[in-house]
Amino acid sequence: MATNLYNTMYNPDVLSCIANLSNDEVFTPPEVANAMLDLLPQELFSDPNTTFLDPACKSGVFLREIAKRLLKGLEPLYPDLQERTDHIFKHQLYGIAITELTSHLSRRSLYCSKFANGRYSVSQFDTIDGNVRFKRINHTWGKTTYDIKGKPHTSCVFCGANKEQYDRGLQLETHAYEMIHTTKPEEILNMKFDVIISNPPYQLSDGGNGASATPIYHLFIQQAKKLSPRFLSMIVPSRWFAGGKGLDSFRKEMIEDTRIRVLHDFLNASDCFGTGVEIKGGVCYFLWDRDNCGKCLVATHDSSGIISKQERYMKIGDNDVFVRRNEAISILDKVASHGESSFSKLVSARRPFGLATSVVGNKTRREGDAVLFQRGGESFYPIKQLERNVDWVNKYKIFISKAYNAGDDYPHQIINKPVFGDKGTCCTETYIVIGPFDDEIITKNVISYINTKFFRFFVSLKKISQDATQRVYGFVPMQDFSKPWTDEELYKKYGLTEEEIAFIDSMIKPMDLGGDE
Protein backbone atom coordinates (compact mmCIF):
# COMPACT_ATOMS: atom_id res chain seq x y z
CA MET A 1 0.00 0.00 0.00
CA ALA A 2 3.00 2.32 0.40
CA THR A 3 3.62 2.46 -3.34
CA ASN A 4 0.84 4.91 -4.23
CA LEU A 5 1.78 7.51 -1.63
CA TYR A 6 5.55 7.45 -1.73
CA ASN A 7 6.27 6.68 -5.37
CA THR A 8 3.71 9.10 -6.80
CA MET A 9 3.61 12.85 -6.18
CA TYR A 10 0.16 14.35 -5.85
CA ASN A 11 -0.50 17.45 -7.94
CA PRO A 12 -1.41 19.64 -6.20
CA ASP A 13 0.19 18.32 -3.01
CA VAL A 14 -2.32 18.70 -0.18
CA LEU A 15 0.49 19.69 2.21
CA SER A 16 1.45 22.54 -0.10
CA CYS A 17 -2.17 23.70 -0.07
CA ILE A 18 -2.40 23.90 3.72
CA ALA A 19 1.09 25.29 4.23
CA ASN A 20 -0.15 28.89 4.44
CA LEU A 21 -3.30 28.47 6.52
CA SER A 22 -1.93 30.04 9.71
CA ASN A 23 0.53 32.72 10.77
CA ASP A 24 0.69 31.63 14.42
CA GLU A 25 1.43 27.97 13.75
CA VAL A 26 2.79 28.06 10.23
CA PHE A 27 2.64 24.83 8.23
CA THR A 28 5.78 23.85 6.36
CA PRO A 29 5.65 23.52 2.55
CA PRO A 30 7.20 20.25 1.30
CA GLU A 31 9.91 22.10 -0.63
CA VAL A 32 11.05 23.83 2.58
CA ALA A 33 11.06 20.55 4.49
CA ASN A 34 13.21 19.02 1.76
CA ALA A 35 15.61 21.96 1.76
CA MET A 36 16.14 21.36 5.47
CA LEU A 37 16.58 17.61 4.93
CA ASP A 38 19.17 18.38 2.25
CA LEU A 39 21.39 19.87 4.97
CA LEU A 40 21.76 16.46 6.63
CA PRO A 41 24.38 13.89 5.61
CA GLN A 42 22.47 11.93 3.00
CA GLU A 43 23.90 8.59 4.13
CA LEU A 44 21.51 8.83 7.09
CA PHE A 45 18.72 7.84 4.70
CA SER A 46 20.52 4.60 3.79
CA ASP A 47 21.04 3.53 7.39
CA PRO A 48 18.33 1.27 8.87
CA ASN A 49 19.30 2.35 12.39
CA THR A 50 18.86 6.11 11.94
CA THR A 51 16.02 7.49 14.06
CA PHE A 52 14.11 10.72 13.38
CA LEU A 53 11.81 12.81 15.61
CA ASP A 54 9.49 15.71 14.84
CA PRO A 55 8.56 17.04 18.31
CA ALA A 56 5.92 19.47 16.97
CA CYS A 57 4.03 17.65 14.21
CA LYS A 58 1.43 19.70 12.36
CA SER A 59 0.96 18.33 8.84
CA GLY A 60 3.43 15.46 9.14
CA VAL A 61 5.40 16.79 6.18
CA PHE A 62 8.85 16.21 7.70
CA LEU A 63 8.13 12.58 8.53
CA ARG A 64 6.52 12.01 5.14
CA GLU A 65 9.49 13.44 3.24
CA ILE A 66 11.93 11.49 5.40
CA ALA A 67 9.93 8.33 4.67
CA LYS A 68 10.28 8.93 0.94
CA ARG A 69 14.04 9.17 1.26
CA LEU A 70 14.30 6.11 3.48
CA LEU A 71 12.12 4.05 1.16
CA LYS A 72 14.59 4.74 -1.60
CA GLY A 73 17.76 4.53 0.47
CA LEU A 74 16.92 1.24 2.18
CA GLU A 75 15.74 -0.60 -0.90
CA PRO A 76 19.01 -2.55 -1.28
CA LEU A 77 18.66 -3.81 2.32
CA TYR A 78 14.92 -4.46 2.20
CA PRO A 79 13.91 -5.32 -1.39
CA ASP A 80 10.35 -6.15 -0.27
CA LEU A 81 8.39 -2.88 -0.14
CA GLN A 82 6.10 -3.90 2.74
CA GLU A 83 8.99 -5.13 4.86
CA ARG A 84 10.86 -1.91 4.14
CA THR A 85 7.81 0.21 4.95
CA ASP A 86 7.18 -1.62 8.23
CA HIS A 87 10.77 -1.22 9.34
CA ILE A 88 10.86 2.51 8.55
CA PHE A 89 7.53 3.41 10.13
CA LYS A 90 7.89 1.21 13.22
CA HIS A 91 11.58 1.70 14.02
CA GLN A 92 12.80 4.96 12.47
CA LEU A 93 10.08 7.66 12.36
CA TYR A 94 8.55 9.28 15.45
CA GLY A 95 6.42 12.33 16.04
CA ILE A 96 4.78 14.30 18.84
CA ALA A 97 1.74 16.19 17.55
CA ILE A 98 0.87 19.65 18.87
CA THR A 99 -2.92 19.10 18.82
CA GLU A 100 -5.29 16.19 18.42
CA LEU A 101 -6.25 17.49 14.97
CA THR A 102 -2.65 17.68 13.78
CA SER A 103 -2.02 14.17 15.10
CA HIS A 104 -4.73 12.89 12.75
CA LEU A 105 -3.37 14.99 9.89
CA SER A 106 0.19 13.82 10.51
CA ARG A 107 -0.80 10.15 10.63
CA ARG A 108 -2.87 10.62 7.50
CA SER A 109 0.16 12.11 5.74
CA LEU A 110 2.51 9.40 6.97
CA TYR A 111 0.43 6.24 7.22
CA CYS A 112 -2.35 7.15 4.74
CA SER A 113 -4.77 6.73 7.63
CA LYS A 114 -5.51 8.83 10.70
CA PHE A 115 -5.56 5.57 12.63
CA ALA A 116 -2.24 3.71 12.57
CA ASN A 117 -4.06 0.44 13.20
CA GLY A 118 -6.74 1.09 10.62
CA ARG A 119 -7.31 -1.07 7.58
CA TYR A 120 -5.95 1.59 5.21
CA SER A 121 -2.70 2.21 7.11
CA VAL A 122 0.33 1.37 4.96
CA SER A 123 1.89 -0.23 8.02
CA GLN A 124 -0.18 -2.00 10.66
CA PHE A 125 0.37 -0.93 14.26
CA ASP A 126 -1.20 -2.26 17.44
CA THR A 127 -2.36 1.20 18.51
CA ILE A 128 -4.27 4.08 16.97
CA ASP A 129 -1.31 6.44 17.39
CA GLY A 130 1.46 4.31 15.92
CA ASN A 131 4.63 6.35 16.38
CA VAL A 132 2.85 9.73 16.10
CA ARG A 133 1.50 10.45 19.54
CA PHE A 134 -0.67 13.15 21.01
CA LYS A 135 -1.16 13.49 24.75
CA ARG A 136 -3.38 16.21 26.14
CA ILE A 137 -1.30 18.27 28.56
CA ASN A 138 -2.49 20.95 30.95
CA HIS A 139 -0.55 24.10 31.71
CA THR A 140 1.13 24.42 35.09
CA TRP A 141 -0.02 27.74 36.47
CA GLY A 142 2.39 29.80 38.53
CA LYS A 143 1.82 32.38 41.22
CA THR A 144 -0.83 35.01 40.55
CA THR A 145 0.38 38.60 40.39
CA TYR A 146 -1.62 41.83 40.13
CA ASP A 147 -1.08 44.86 37.89
CA ILE A 148 -1.42 48.47 39.01
CA LYS A 149 -5.17 48.31 38.39
CA GLY A 150 -5.56 45.21 40.55
CA LYS A 151 -6.14 42.85 37.63
CA PRO A 152 -4.84 39.33 38.35
CA HIS A 153 -2.34 37.74 35.98
CA THR A 154 -1.31 34.10 36.05
CA SER A 155 1.05 32.45 33.58
CA CYS A 156 2.21 28.92 32.83
CA VAL A 157 5.59 28.28 34.43
CA PHE A 158 6.76 26.39 31.34
CA CYS A 159 5.58 28.49 28.38
CA GLY A 160 4.23 31.77 29.77
CA ALA A 161 0.68 31.23 28.45
CA ASN A 162 -1.97 33.39 30.10
CA LYS A 163 -4.34 31.43 32.36
CA GLU A 164 -7.33 33.57 31.47
CA GLN A 165 -7.01 32.53 27.82
CA TYR A 166 -5.66 28.99 28.03
CA ASP A 167 -7.27 27.46 31.12
CA ARG A 168 -9.82 25.61 29.00
CA GLY A 169 -12.34 22.82 29.16
CA LEU A 170 -12.00 19.45 27.46
CA GLN A 171 -13.78 20.69 24.35
CA LEU A 172 -10.88 23.03 23.43
CA GLU A 173 -7.17 22.53 22.83
CA THR A 174 -4.98 23.69 25.69
CA HIS A 175 -1.97 24.47 23.44
CA ALA A 176 0.21 23.10 26.25
CA TYR A 177 2.71 21.35 24.01
CA GLU A 178 4.10 18.15 25.48
CA MET A 179 7.70 18.74 24.40
CA ILE A 180 8.06 21.99 26.36
CA HIS A 181 5.91 21.19 29.40
CA THR A 182 8.38 18.98 31.19
CA THR A 183 11.80 19.32 32.76
CA LYS A 184 12.74 15.87 31.42
CA PRO A 185 11.90 15.68 27.70
CA GLU A 186 13.98 12.51 27.41
CA GLU A 187 11.27 10.67 29.35
CA ILE A 188 8.52 11.41 26.80
CA LEU A 189 9.56 8.62 24.42
CA ASN A 190 12.50 7.16 26.34
CA MET A 191 14.59 7.03 23.17
CA LYS A 192 17.72 8.50 21.63
CA PHE A 193 17.35 10.18 18.25
CA ASP A 194 19.88 10.78 15.52
CA VAL A 195 17.88 13.63 13.96
CA ILE A 196 15.35 16.04 15.47
CA ILE A 197 13.71 18.25 12.87
CA SER A 198 10.65 20.50 13.16
CA ASN A 199 8.78 23.74 12.60
CA PRO A 200 7.53 24.44 16.13
CA PRO A 201 4.75 26.81 17.22
CA TYR A 202 6.10 30.34 17.46
CA GLN A 203 4.23 32.13 20.24
CA LEU A 204 1.35 32.17 22.72
CA SER A 205 -0.71 35.10 23.93
CA ASP A 206 0.53 36.26 27.33
CA GLY A 207 -2.39 38.51 28.27
CA GLY A 208 -0.43 41.75 27.82
CA ASN A 209 -1.55 44.87 26.02
CA GLY A 210 -3.07 44.46 22.57
CA ALA A 211 -1.86 41.37 20.77
CA SER A 212 1.03 40.79 23.18
CA ALA A 213 2.53 37.32 22.87
CA THR A 214 5.41 35.37 24.37
CA PRO A 215 7.77 33.53 22.01
CA ILE A 216 7.98 29.78 22.64
CA TYR A 217 9.88 28.42 19.62
CA HIS A 218 13.20 28.71 21.43
CA LEU A 219 11.90 26.36 24.13
CA PHE A 220 11.55 23.58 21.55
CA ILE A 221 15.16 24.11 20.46
CA GLN A 222 16.42 24.04 24.04
CA GLN A 223 14.41 20.93 24.89
CA ALA A 224 15.61 19.20 21.72
CA LYS A 225 19.24 19.87 22.68
CA LYS A 226 18.61 18.13 26.00
CA LEU A 227 17.94 14.94 24.01
CA SER A 228 21.45 15.25 22.51
CA PRO A 229 20.60 14.22 18.93
CA ARG A 230 23.39 13.95 16.38
CA PHE A 231 21.67 16.60 14.28
CA LEU A 232 19.05 19.24 15.03
CA SER A 233 17.26 21.39 12.46
CA MET A 234 14.35 23.77 13.07
CA ILE A 235 12.73 26.63 11.21
CA VAL A 236 11.80 29.59 13.42
CA PRO A 237 11.33 33.38 13.31
CA SER A 238 14.58 35.33 12.92
CA ARG A 239 13.63 37.75 15.70
CA TRP A 240 15.91 35.89 18.10
CA PHE A 241 18.88 37.45 16.27
CA ALA A 242 18.26 40.66 18.23
CA GLY A 243 16.90 39.10 21.44
CA GLY A 244 14.23 40.86 23.48
CA LYS A 245 11.12 39.51 25.24
CA GLY A 246 12.65 36.46 26.88
CA LEU A 247 15.07 35.77 24.03
CA ASP A 248 18.25 37.47 25.28
CA SER A 249 19.75 34.43 26.98
CA PHE A 250 18.65 32.21 24.10
CA ARG A 251 20.30 34.56 21.60
CA LYS A 252 23.55 34.40 23.58
CA GLU A 253 23.33 30.63 23.71
CA MET A 254 22.80 30.37 19.97
CA ILE A 255 25.45 32.79 18.71
CA GLU A 256 28.06 31.24 20.99
CA ASP A 257 27.20 27.67 19.93
CA THR A 258 29.77 26.70 17.30
CA ARG A 259 27.85 23.48 16.62
CA ILE A 260 25.44 25.49 14.46
CA ARG A 261 27.12 24.83 11.13
CA VAL A 262 24.55 26.12 8.61
CA LEU A 263 22.01 28.95 8.84
CA HIS A 264 19.62 29.96 6.06
CA ASP A 265 18.07 33.35 6.76
CA PHE A 266 15.04 34.70 4.86
CA LEU A 267 14.65 38.46 5.18
CA ASN A 268 10.98 38.13 4.22
CA ALA A 269 9.04 35.12 5.50
CA SER A 270 6.96 34.93 2.32
CA ASP A 271 10.15 34.15 0.37
CA CYS A 272 10.35 30.96 2.42
CA PHE A 273 6.77 29.96 3.21
CA GLY A 274 5.05 31.54 0.22
CA THR A 275 2.92 34.57 -0.49
CA GLY A 276 0.56 35.58 2.31
CA VAL A 277 2.71 34.57 5.28
CA GLU A 278 3.93 37.61 7.20
CA ILE A 279 6.34 37.10 10.09
CA LYS A 280 8.04 40.33 11.10
CA GLY A 281 11.80 40.05 10.84
CA GLY A 282 11.72 37.01 8.57
CA VAL A 283 12.48 33.37 9.33
CA CYS A 284 15.51 31.10 9.40
CA TYR A 285 16.39 27.44 9.58
CA PHE A 286 19.64 25.94 10.80
CA LEU A 287 21.62 22.73 11.14
CA TRP A 288 23.13 21.94 14.54
CA ASP A 289 25.80 19.22 14.46
CA ARG A 290 26.50 17.78 17.89
CA ASP A 291 29.88 16.27 17.06
CA ASN A 292 31.39 19.00 14.86
CA CYS A 293 32.23 22.56 15.86
CA GLY A 294 33.40 25.37 13.62
CA LYS A 295 32.28 28.30 11.54
CA CYS A 296 28.69 28.61 10.38
CA LEU A 297 27.76 28.85 6.70
CA VAL A 298 25.38 31.82 6.67
CA ALA A 299 23.17 32.10 3.57
CA THR A 300 20.88 35.12 3.18
CA HIS A 301 17.79 34.90 0.96
CA ASP A 302 15.40 37.36 -0.63
CA SER A 303 12.83 36.99 -3.41
CA SER A 304 15.63 36.59 -5.97
CA GLY A 305 17.17 33.63 -4.10
CA ILE A 306 20.44 33.44 -2.16
CA ILE A 307 21.98 36.92 -2.20
CA SER A 308 25.03 36.19 -0.06
CA LYS A 309 26.82 33.23 1.48
CA GLN A 310 29.74 33.26 3.90
CA GLU A 311 31.40 30.96 6.41
CA ARG A 312 31.87 32.85 9.66
CA TYR A 313 31.41 32.63 13.39
CA MET A 314 27.99 33.76 14.54
CA LYS A 315 29.46 35.73 17.42
CA ILE A 316 31.68 38.59 16.29
CA GLY A 317 33.90 40.03 19.00
CA ASP A 318 31.89 41.29 21.96
CA ASN A 319 28.76 41.93 19.88
CA ASP A 320 25.64 40.70 21.61
CA VAL A 321 23.52 40.20 18.48
CA PHE A 322 23.79 38.10 15.38
CA VAL A 323 24.64 40.29 12.38
CA ARG A 324 22.45 38.72 9.74
CA ARG A 325 23.96 40.37 6.64
CA ASN A 326 27.35 39.02 5.59
CA GLU A 327 28.12 42.19 3.64
CA ALA A 328 27.93 44.22 6.85
CA ILE A 329 30.84 42.49 8.57
CA SER A 330 33.62 44.42 6.81
CA ILE A 331 31.83 47.73 7.47
CA LEU A 332 31.45 46.90 11.14
CA ASP A 333 35.13 46.02 11.38
CA LYS A 334 36.21 49.34 9.84
CA VAL A 335 34.08 51.35 12.24
CA ALA A 336 35.08 49.27 15.27
CA SER A 337 38.78 49.93 14.51
CA HIS A 338 38.23 53.60 15.43
CA GLY A 339 37.37 52.64 19.01
CA GLU A 340 34.58 55.20 19.34
CA SER A 341 31.93 54.98 22.05
CA SER A 342 28.36 54.02 21.25
CA PHE A 343 25.71 56.55 20.29
CA SER A 344 23.28 54.55 22.48
CA LYS A 345 24.63 56.51 25.47
CA LEU A 346 22.59 59.46 24.19
CA VAL A 347 19.39 57.39 23.84
CA SER A 348 16.87 57.20 26.65
CA ALA A 349 15.18 54.13 28.03
CA ARG A 350 11.47 53.54 27.50
CA ARG A 351 9.07 56.06 29.01
CA PRO A 352 11.68 58.84 29.21
CA PHE A 353 9.34 60.98 31.31
CA GLY A 354 7.42 58.10 32.89
CA LEU A 355 4.33 58.66 30.75
CA ALA A 356 2.60 55.69 29.11
CA THR A 357 1.37 55.85 25.52
CA SER A 358 -2.22 56.05 26.79
CA VAL A 359 -1.58 59.36 28.61
CA VAL A 360 -3.50 62.25 27.05
CA GLY A 361 -2.52 65.84 27.76
CA ASN A 362 -4.62 68.96 28.02
CA LYS A 363 -5.88 70.79 24.97
CA THR A 364 -5.04 74.20 26.39
CA ARG A 365 -1.80 75.26 28.03
CA ARG A 366 -1.78 76.29 31.65
CA GLU A 367 1.02 77.72 33.74
CA GLY A 368 3.56 75.04 34.59
CA ASP A 369 2.70 72.89 31.55
CA ALA A 370 5.16 71.48 29.04
CA VAL A 371 4.36 70.73 25.41
CA LEU A 372 3.60 66.99 25.30
CA PHE A 373 4.57 65.02 22.20
CA GLN A 374 2.14 62.11 22.06
CA ARG A 375 0.62 59.76 19.56
CA GLY A 376 -1.66 61.74 17.28
CA GLY A 377 -0.16 65.16 17.89
CA GLU A 378 0.79 67.60 20.62
CA SER A 379 -0.94 68.65 23.83
CA PHE A 380 0.11 70.04 27.23
CA TYR A 381 1.05 68.31 30.47
CA PRO A 382 1.91 69.58 33.99
CA ILE A 383 5.67 69.44 34.50
CA LYS A 384 5.25 68.68 38.21
CA GLN A 385 3.36 65.47 37.34
CA LEU A 386 6.21 63.98 35.29
CA GLU A 387 7.56 60.85 36.92
CA ARG A 388 11.21 61.17 35.86
CA ASN A 389 13.79 63.32 34.04
CA VAL A 390 12.04 66.59 34.90
CA ASP A 391 15.35 68.42 34.33
CA TRP A 392 15.22 67.41 30.65
CA VAL A 393 12.12 69.53 29.99
CA ASN A 394 14.02 72.81 29.71
CA LYS A 395 16.80 71.43 27.54
CA TYR A 396 16.99 70.72 23.83
CA LYS A 397 16.31 67.14 22.79
CA ILE A 398 15.30 64.90 19.89
CA PHE A 399 12.18 62.72 19.77
CA ILE A 400 12.09 59.52 17.70
CA SER A 401 9.21 57.03 17.52
CA LYS A 402 9.87 54.01 19.73
CA ALA A 403 8.31 51.78 17.08
CA TYR A 404 8.49 52.12 13.33
CA ASN A 405 7.46 49.70 10.62
CA ALA A 406 7.38 50.19 6.88
CA GLY A 407 7.38 46.55 5.79
CA ASP A 408 10.10 43.99 5.18
CA ASP A 409 11.23 45.15 1.74
CA TYR A 410 14.52 46.94 1.16
CA PRO A 411 15.69 49.64 0.82
CA HIS A 412 14.08 50.69 4.10
CA GLN A 413 14.01 53.88 6.16
CA ILE A 414 14.57 51.82 9.38
CA ILE A 415 13.44 54.53 11.85
CA ASN A 416 10.99 57.39 11.75
CA LYS A 417 12.30 60.88 11.15
CA PRO A 418 13.79 62.65 14.17
CA VAL A 419 11.79 65.53 15.63
CA PHE A 420 13.50 68.55 17.18
CA GLY A 421 12.41 69.03 20.80
CA ASP A 422 12.68 72.61 21.94
CA LYS A 423 12.97 73.69 25.53
CA GLY A 424 9.72 73.18 27.40
CA THR A 425 8.84 69.83 25.80
CA CYS A 426 8.34 66.25 26.97
CA CYS A 427 6.79 63.10 25.51
CA THR A 428 4.87 59.90 26.19
CA GLU A 429 6.20 56.38 25.66
CA THR A 430 5.37 56.74 21.96
CA TYR A 431 8.81 58.34 21.68
CA ILE A 432 12.29 57.86 23.01
CA VAL A 433 14.54 60.83 23.70
CA ILE A 434 18.00 61.47 22.28
CA GLY A 435 19.90 63.92 24.41
CA PRO A 436 19.28 66.16 26.22
CA PHE A 437 21.54 68.95 24.98
CA ASP A 438 22.34 72.43 26.19
CA ASP A 439 23.01 73.81 22.70
CA GLU A 440 20.48 74.12 19.88
CA ILE A 441 23.11 73.91 17.12
CA ILE A 442 24.56 70.67 18.52
CA THR A 443 21.06 69.23 18.69
CA LYS A 444 20.47 69.99 15.03
CA ASN A 445 23.86 68.55 14.11
CA VAL A 446 22.85 65.30 15.82
CA ILE A 447 19.69 65.32 13.71
CA SER A 448 21.80 65.65 10.57
CA TYR A 449 23.67 62.52 11.64
CA ILE A 450 20.48 60.57 12.33
CA ASN A 451 19.21 61.45 8.86
CA THR A 452 22.22 59.84 7.16
CA LYS A 453 22.00 56.39 5.61
CA PHE A 454 25.19 55.53 7.48
CA PHE A 455 23.53 56.09 10.87
CA ARG A 456 20.39 54.15 10.01
CA PHE A 457 22.38 51.30 8.47
CA PHE A 458 24.02 50.65 11.84
CA VAL A 459 20.63 50.84 13.53
CA SER A 460 19.33 48.22 11.07
CA LEU A 461 21.96 45.71 12.22
CA LYS A 462 20.23 45.43 15.59
CA LYS A 463 16.67 46.36 14.66
CA ILE A 464 14.85 43.26 13.42
CA SER A 465 11.29 44.16 14.44
CA GLN A 466 9.31 47.39 14.60
CA ASP A 467 10.70 48.21 18.06
CA ALA A 468 13.41 50.86 18.05
CA THR A 469 14.44 51.07 21.69
CA GLN A 470 17.80 52.14 23.10
CA ARG A 471 19.32 48.73 22.34
CA VAL A 472 19.12 49.08 18.54
CA TYR A 473 21.49 52.07 18.57
CA GLY A 474 24.32 50.01 20.07
CA PHE A 475 26.40 49.70 16.87
CA VAL A 476 26.13 53.40 15.92
CA PRO A 477 29.46 55.18 16.55
CA MET A 478 29.57 58.51 18.34
CA GLN A 479 30.67 61.60 16.36
CA ASP A 480 31.90 65.13 16.97
CA PHE A 481 28.66 67.13 16.91
CA SER A 482 30.25 70.55 16.68
CA LYS A 483 29.47 70.17 12.96
CA PRO A 484 26.71 68.58 10.85
CA TRP A 485 27.34 65.29 9.05
CA THR A 486 26.69 63.89 5.57
CA ASP A 487 27.00 60.37 4.22
CA GLU A 488 29.89 61.38 2.00
CA GLU A 489 31.89 62.61 5.00
CA LEU A 490 31.16 59.47 6.98
CA TYR A 491 32.04 57.11 4.12
CA LYS A 492 35.36 58.93 3.70
CA LYS A 493 36.10 58.95 7.43
CA TYR A 494 35.74 55.17 7.71
CA GLY A 495 37.29 54.33 4.33
CA LEU A 496 34.27 52.50 2.88
CA THR A 497 34.68 51.00 -0.57
CA GLU A 498 32.31 51.56 -3.48
CA GLU A 499 30.91 48.06 -2.93
CA GLU A 500 30.25 48.75 0.76
CA ILE A 501 28.57 52.07 -0.05
CA ALA A 502 26.45 50.37 -2.70
CA PHE A 503 25.38 47.78 -0.12
CA ILE A 504 24.29 50.51 2.30
CA ASP A 505 22.36 52.17 -0.53
CA SER A 506 20.63 48.86 -1.28
CA MET A 507 19.54 48.57 2.37
CA ILE A 508 18.70 52.13 3.37
CA LYS A 509 16.57 54.65 1.52
CA PRO A 510 16.80 58.43 2.01
CA MET A 511 15.06 59.76 5.10
CA ASP A 512 11.53 60.96 4.42
CA LEU A 513 11.54 64.43 5.93
CA GLY A 514 7.81 64.90 5.49
CA GLY A 515 5.19 64.55 8.23
CA ASP A 516 5.36 61.95 10.99
CA GLU A 517 3.90 58.53 10.29
Same domain for 379 and 318: no
pLDDT at 5 > cutoff 70? no
Q: What is the DSSP letter of 455?
A: H
Structurally, the chain folds into a number of domains equal to 3
Count the residues in the chain.
517
Name the residue range of residue 73's domain.
2-137+177-326
pLDDT at 202 > cutoff 60? yes
Residues 140 and 148: beta-carbon distance below 8 Å: no
Which CATH number do you get for residue 57?
3.40.50.150
Percent of the chain at pLDDT above 90? 72
Same domain for 317 and 221: yes
| Stretch 419-432: mean pLDDT | 96
pLDDT of residue 6: 53
Question: Which phi and psi angles does 298 have, rounded to 5°?
Answer: -100, 120
- From residue 149, alpha-carbon distances to 145, 146, 153, 326, 409 in Å are 11, 8, 11, 47, 40
Please check whether residue 403 lies inside any domain of the structure.
yes
pLDDT in tens, 309-350: 999 999 887 777 889 889 999 999 999 999 999 999 999 999
Q: What is the DSSP letter of 332?
A: H
Same domain for 297 and 442: no
Same domain for 431 and 296: no
Q: Which of 291, 326, 361 is where one domain is finished? A: 326
| Stretch 253-264: mean pLDDT | 96
| Stretch 294-313: mean pLDDT | 91
In the chain, the N- to C-terminal Cα span, in Å, equals 60
Cβ count within 10 A of residue 406: 14
Same domain for 398 and 272: no
* Reported confidence tier of residue 87, pLDDT bands at 50, 70, 90: very high
| Stretch 190-205: mean pLDDT | 94
Same domain for 217 and 356: no
* Residue 11 or 194, more confident: 194
Same domain for 289 and 171: no
Please check whether residue 475 lies inside any domain of the structure.
yes
> Minimum mean pLDDT among 31-40, 401-410, 414-423: which range?
401-410
* Reported confidence tier of residue 230, pLDDT bands at 50, 70, 90: very high
Q: Which of 297, 326, 355 is where one domain is finished? A: 326
pLDDT at 517 > cutoff 50? no
Same domain for 290 and 434: no
Please check whether residue 331 lies inside any domain of the structure.
no
Same domain for 432 and 366: yes
Strands of the sheet containing 296-302, edge to edge, are 132-133, 93-97, 52-57, 195-198, 231-237, 283-289, 260-266, 296-302, 305-312
pLDDT at 24 > cutoff 70? no
Residues 382 and 359: beta-carbon distance below 8 Å: no
Q: Which of 176, 198, 227 is where one domain is finished? A: 176
Residues 344 and 475: beta-carbon distance below 8 Å: no
Whether a cis peptide bond, with omega within 30° of 0, leads into 12 is: yes
Query: What is the pTM for the complete model shown?
Result: 0.83
